[in-house]
Structure 1
Amino acid sequence: MSRPVILTACINGGRPDAAALNPNLPVTPAQIAAAVAEAAALGAAVAHVHVRDPKDGRPSNDPGLWAETVARIRATGADILLNLSASMDGLLYLDDEAGFALLPASTLRPVSGRTAHVIAARPEIGTMDCGTFAMGPAIHVARIDDLREMARLYARAGIRAEVECFDFGHLEIARRLVAEGLLGARPFLQICLGTGYGGAPATRAALLAMYERIPEGAVWAAFAAAEENLWVAREAVALGGHVRAGLEDTLFDSAGLPTTNAALLTTAVAIITGAGGRPAKPAEARQILDLPANA
């Protein structure tokens, strides 16, 4: 029997200009809920969700939007695990000419504030961006103690951390958290390649080097930005990992036209089956991640 492979649908992401670049991007709570239900019907076992301001399409961390979005998703009755992003509110923008004073665009908040919407919603999974790194003109701040606190908050709430590793050093931080017992008996790691954030490139050498540092017993997945995600998905399945696909990672098709979540997920399912796997059902994903059975 072919191996069940978890397909995560990353339906909208947090890129600030994504809604302007692709009109198919789910923005409103109703659109996001519909996209999650569609992803479940297409074979995704996990939905990775950000929220956006319905007025301008830009990423948001508004607790009211999060609450409405999660409520709408659950009201669809879609059989899918929720993975909520906690990547917002961790950015520093510095004014070089003013002695590196904070600029108003900075969003950095304590970990308790960054994760408040995740803890309130109690999804199956919440993200952790593992490490401090450059994001264009900004700095994403995730000190080791920030990550420790985030892991503890998730564990107390019964939420599985998805530890997103954008570079080799992030995996070493993840290994330390695993060794300290902060990520549980079944850690869940995501290898993130070619994102343009100054991390690891989307090359086979980078994928294999990061794969070799996955902690023993961990569940892992990998993705790359844009069309590089196609070969990364194939390699991940072949290596025993899991995959994700959606408009967060790929806004345009091979012709340079705006693509859709449906097209990307359909392609991902074909890649999984072509590489010898099959899309895991949500109940199987729960078993793989060692999550409680759905009540």
Structure 2
Amino acid sequence: MTHPKMVIITCAVTGSIHTPTMSDALPITPSEIAEQAIGAAEAGASILHLHARDPQDGRPTPDPTVFMQFLPRIKQSCDAVINITTGGSVKMSLEERLAAPLKASPEMCSLNMGTMNFALYPAADRYKNWKYSWEESYLRDSDDNIFRNTFRDIEQIARRLGDEHGTKFEHECYDVSHLYNLAHCIDRGLFKPPIFLQLIFGILGGIGADLENLMFMKRTADKLFGDQYHWSVLAAGRHQMPFATQATMMGGNVRVGLEDSLSIGRGKLARSNAEQVGKIRRIVEELGFGVASPTDARQLLGLKGADRVKF
């Protein structure tokens, strides 16, 4: 009897896109981030993708001291792989974005594979009353946002985190060009297989959430990376679960979480990250696949192990 393919579920717990007004479930304080991350791990997530927020007003922060208020607690409470953002938010410099990962030396970090427009402003029209004064302008002014990762930035991240800390990357590809950028970086020796791709759909500025685009991105990855990669899919907002389901059926892995979508179904806000993880876990298992444990994920992705981080 053959064993079912094991699907890695990543949970992106808070991110820097959604603001506190949008959902009471969005974790803001270190304690809330820790609780929701641990809950997501217990529900079946083997990788936890983490950002930090200012505990006072929920705005994204790169401050390592805030990260250190939840990273050790999560590590002590579950075995999940902890994956720290190097994207931070579009408002942060590269040095700010790298501050927490360089201090924490995690097993994994996210890594955006290119520079792009990154816009959230259409969301601002849905809300009249804001919990905090920073939120409305943060969203409305995003029509002028560029998320920056030049080839030089990517090389810095690869050398300072990859070479010096043994950190592996969740290569976030928001467009077809990002796959070619990654192939170029592999040719230069910056990254070594197995590569972990996160194919991202539905961000304004990136590739649209059309299933044809998922098929094309997958075919392009096959052409560029052969059998030397693992892949996962996330889609923004209402596309989250349909794309995760499609990726599962295609033999891929999945990412859910309140960073990517605040909903659990049409017109219904999720109560927690764990609720989204539980839903995709049920779908994965109903389709006849297994859910990867953190040990499975570490083995598959060639990670250095939780004993070699600095938190």
Q: Normalising by structure 1, what TM-score?
A: 0.88
Q: Quote the residue 1:103 is aligned against.
A: none
Specify the alignment match of 2:86 in structure 1.
Answer: 86
Helix, strand or coil for the counterpart of 2:72?
Answer: helix
Contact 1:190-1:221 at 8 Å conserved across structures: yes
Residue 252 (structure 1) aligns with? 263
Tell me the amino acid that sits aligned with residue 151 of structure 1: A
Give the match for residue 280 of structure 1.
Answer: 292
* 1:268 counterpart = 2:280: yes
CA distance in 1: counterparts of 2:21 and 2:11, whole angstroms: 20
Matched-pair contact (CA < 8 Å) for 2:108–2:169? yes
**Superposed displacement of residue 255, structure 1:** 4.3
Question: Which AA in structure 1 matches 2:289?
Answer: G
**How far off is 1:185 after superposition?**
2.2
Matched, 1:231 2:242: yes
Q: Quote the residue 1:129 is aligned against.
A: 112
Q: 1:3 — aligned with what? A: 5
Once the two structures are superposed, residues 189-223 of structure 1 have per-residue CA deviations (whole angstroms, 9 ceiling, x without a partner) of 11000122x11111111001111122221111111
Alignment check: 8 A CA contact 1:21 1:258 kept = no
CA distance in 2: counterparts of 1:3 and 1:253, whole angstroms: 25
2:209 to 202, 216, 219: 202
What amino acid sits opposite 2:241 in the alignment?
L
Q: Secondary structure at the match of 1:269?
A: helix
Query: Following the alignment from structure 1 to structure 2, what is the Cα–Cα distance between the partners of residues 108 and 140?
Result: 9
Q: How does 1:71-82 map to 2 (within 5 A)?
A: 71-75=72-76, 77-82=77-82
Among 17, 22, 41, the residue aligned to 1:15 = 17
| Matched letter for residue 262 of structure 2 | L
Q: Partner of 1:161: helix, strand, or coil?
A: strand
The one-letter amino acid paired with 2:249 is A
| Per-residue deviation, 1:188 | 1.2
| Whole-Å separation in 2 of the counterparts to 1:122 and 1:134 | 29
> CA contact under 8 A between 2:37 and 2:273: conserved in structure 1?
no
Offset of residue 163 of structure 1:
0.9
Aligned counterparts of 2:219 and 2:258: Cα–Cα separation in 1: 28
- 1:232 partner SS: helix
Q: 2:178 — aligned with what?
A: 170
Residue 182 of structure 1 corresponds to 190
| CA displacement at 1:54 relative to structure 2 | 1.1
Task: Report how far residue 115 of structure 1 moved.
Answer: 1.2
Aligned CA distance change for structure 1 residues 261 and 108 (closer, same or farther; 3 Å)? closer
- After superposition, the C-alpha distances for 1:245-295 in whole angstroms (9 at most, x for unaligned) are 111111123342321212211111012112331110000000110123555
CA contact (8 A) 2:62 2:96 kept: no
Aligned equivalent of 1:292: 304
Q: Show the counterpart of 2:98.
A: 115
Distance 1:59 1:167 in 2: 24
Aligned to 2:132: none
Runs (5+) with no aligned partner, structure 1: 92-106
Paired residue type of 1:278 = G
Segments of structure 2 that go 5 or more residues without pairing to the other structure are 120-142
* One-letter amino acid matched to 2:239: E
What is residue 35 of structure 2 aligned with on the other side?
A: 34
- Kept in 2, the 8 Å contact 1:52–1:59? The answer is yes
Deviations 1:137-187 (Å, cap 9, x if unpaired)?
211111111111111112220111111010111111011112222111211
Structure with greater helix percent: 2
**Cα shift readout 1:3-42 (whole Å, capped 9, x = no counterpart):** 111100111111152x211001111111111111111111
Residue identity (%): 31
**Structure 2 counterpart of 1:48, one-letter code:** H
1:178/1:187 contact within 8 Å kept: no
Kindly state the Cα deviation for residue 116 of structure 1 after the two structures are TM-superposed.
2.1
CA distance in 2, matches of 1:59, 1:16: 10
2:160 alignment partner in structure 1: 153
- Render the CA deviation track for 1:99-139: whole Å, top value 9, x for unaligned: xxxxxxxx352x44421210211211111111111122211
- Does structure 1 retain, via aligned residues, the 8 Å contact 2:118–2:206? no
